[in-house]
Every structure is written in C-alpha cells, then in structure tokens.
Amino acid sequence: MSRYWLAVGALVLLSGSSRSSTFTVTSAADVGRGSLREALVRAAKNPGPDAILFAPSMAGQLIRPVTPLPTLRDAGTEINGDIDGNGAPDVALDGSLLLPSWAASGLRVTGDDCTIRALAISRFPTDQIDALDGPGTKIVGCYINTGLSGTQASFRASEAGIVIGDSDQVGGPNEGDRNVICVGSAIGIWMMGKGALIAGNWIGVPATGQGTFAATREGTGVWIGSG
Ligand SMILES: [Ca+2]
C-alpha cells in the first residue's frame, strides 16, 4: 500500500470519528436557550457519547414540559441530575402539565447504552422512563414517582415507573446506583427484554430507607413481561 492510500485511510478514520460534547442545562424553562429540551436536541444531533449536565443554579428546580421531551436516540448519551455529587437527584422532571392525550413518557430512550442518572421523574401520563427500545440503558440513582424529596408519593395513574428491554440495567451493585421507586397504582419496573439487570433498588420504600409511601394504592413492584 502506498503512502498516499495510508493517508487517505487516516483521513477517513478521522472524519468518521465523533466528538463527545457536554451540554449544560441552565434553564428550567420548557423550551429555549439552556433548556433540557434544547440539550436533548443538540445531543441527538451530535453523534457520540455526549453528557447532559445541570448548572448549580438548577439545584432544586422543577422542569415541567408541556409537550413530550425529545427521545434519547443517540448512543451513549448520559444525563446526570446530581449537581452536588452526593448521588441523589437535584433536578426534577414533572409531567403534570402534559395532557393525558399525549400518552407521553418522561424520558424515552431508543439509542444504545444511554445512562439516566440521578433525576427525579414523576407525574408523566404513561411511563416515567421508557427504555424498552434502548438496549444497554442504565438507570441509576433516580427517584421515580416521588419528586425530589424521595419520600412523597407523586404520580398519576401511569403505566409503569420504568419500562426496560434488552440488556438494560436498573440500579446496580453500588449504593449510588440505587433507584427509589414509588410504585403508585401501577407497576414499578416493567421488564420486557433479555439480559436485563434489576438490582439494589428500593421499590415501594422511600429514600430514607424506612417504611412505605403514604397514601399509595396497591401496585406491582416488578413485572416480568418476557425475556
Ligand atoms: Ca445530588
């Protein structure tokens, strides 16, 4: 092979590679500059394992979409709502402004190997996280159907807290991986795939680790659909 062809090969490799970027959410507004919606759109347009983080000013903030949020469809995207680094969510997604007719989930994942870390997600019309079509999704450190407190039940008559498919992971071996899930009236985790892992979560147990959620109706902690 000539030196010329080696150079062409190297150029092709360079142009085919992707650069990971960090998008920082600075606004709790549903749309516009610095919003989570904008960060999701920008991450989707930028191939590669991007990170979506939240500025310190976002601690304790509620993001309330009025239309469904964009799907995480770019492989390797990580959203991290732990601003102060203590492993607990500092930002909440609240779906209470979405009409039931949207049939929307809080976050929907279709890309491979995405991570949703330390977000509080509640009150969306259907599922809070739908990773059924996102193989290898990791969901860790999240509060589902509780809001930021991790102790107060906060849900609509939703389908499921979390829906997972092939090779997805909910929780894990480390304490920081633990999700706190209020089951509400439906299903905590709906598992419908092969090779998924559910470990170390508190399902029906508040973030204090004690007691149960008050005023919740009966539901199913983990429903294994298939796989
Ligand atoms: Ca935190």
| C-alpha 13 – ligand 1 centre gap (Å) | 39
**Residue 173 corresponds to which amino acid?**
P
Q: Residue 18: pLDDT band by 50, 70, 90 thresholds?
A: low
Tokens representing residue 154 in the block: 């906060």
Asked if residue 83 has pLDDT above 50, the reply is yes
Task: Give distance in angstroms: CA of 166 to centre of ligand 1.
Answer: 29
Using 50, 70 and 90 to split pLDDT, how confident is the model at 10? very low
The arithmetic mean of pLDDT across residues 165-185, rounded, is: 94
Q: Please compute the mean of the pLDDT values over residues 47-65 and round it to a whole number.
A: 96
| Torsion angles phi and psi, residue 103, rounded to 5 | 50, 45
Least reliable range by pLDDT among 50-64, 193-207, 210-224: 210-224
The pLDDT score that the predictor gives to residue 34 is 98
CA 2 / ligand 1 centre spacing (Å): 55
Burial class for 181, CB neighbours closer than 10 Å (0-12, 13-18, 19+):
buried
CA of 169 to the centre of ligand 1 (A): 21
CA of 80 to the centre of ligand 1 (A): 10
Q: Is the pLDDT of residue 17 over 90?
A: no
Name the average pLDDT for the chain: 90
Q: Which of 48, 50, 7, 141 is nearest to 39 (CA)?
A: 50
Protein residues placing their CB within 5 Å of the ion ligand 1: 82, 84, 86, 88, 90
pLDDT at 16 over 60: no
Strands 160-164 and 187-192 turn out to be: parallel
Q: List the one residue out of 150, 226, 143, 217 whose CA is nearest residue 187.
A: 217
Distance (Å) from CA 25 to ligand 1 centroid: 15
pLDDT surpassing 90 at residue 59: yes
* Residue 84 to residue 88: CA distance in whole angstroms: 8
Q: How far is the CA of 45 from the centre of ligand 1 (A)?
A: 28
Please report, rounded to a whole number, the percentage of residues in the chain having pLDDT higher than 70. Answer: 89
Q: Tell me: pLDDT of 123 over 60.
A: yes
SS3 56: helix
Residue 178 pLDDT: 97
CA-based end-to-end distance of the chain: 48
Specify the pLDDT at position 216: 62
Ligand 1 mean position to 88 CA, how many Å?
4
pLDDT value for 128:
96
Report the pLDDT value the prediction gives residue 217, as an integer from 0 to 100. Answer: 67
Which residue, 31, 115, 23, 113, is CA-closest to 70? 31
Rounded distance from Cα 81 to ligand 1 centre (Å): 7
Structure confidence at residue 156 as a pLDDT band (50, 70, 90):
confident
Distance 16 CA to ligand 1 centre (A): 36
Return the top range by mean pLDDT from 3-12, 181-190, 196-205.
196-205
- Measured in Å, residue 220 CA sits from the centre of ligand 1 at 28
Helical ranges in 17-45 per DSSP H: 36-45
Residue bearing tokens 């732990």: 82
How confident is residue 6, by pLDDT bands cut at 50, 70 and 90? Answer: very low
Mean pLDDT score, 9-26: 65
Q: 222: which strand partners?
A: 189
- The alpha carbon of 54 and the centre of ligand 1 are apart by a number of angstroms equal to 11
> 15 CA distance to ligand 1 centroid (A)?
38
**Average pLDDT of the segment spanning 130-137:** 97
| pLDDT for 122 beyond 90 | yes
Q: Under DSSP, is residue 67 helix (H, G, I), strand (E, B) or coil? A: coil
Identify which of 41, 95, 96 has the alpha carbon closest to the alpha carbon of residue 72: 41
Higher pLDDT, 43 or 101: 43
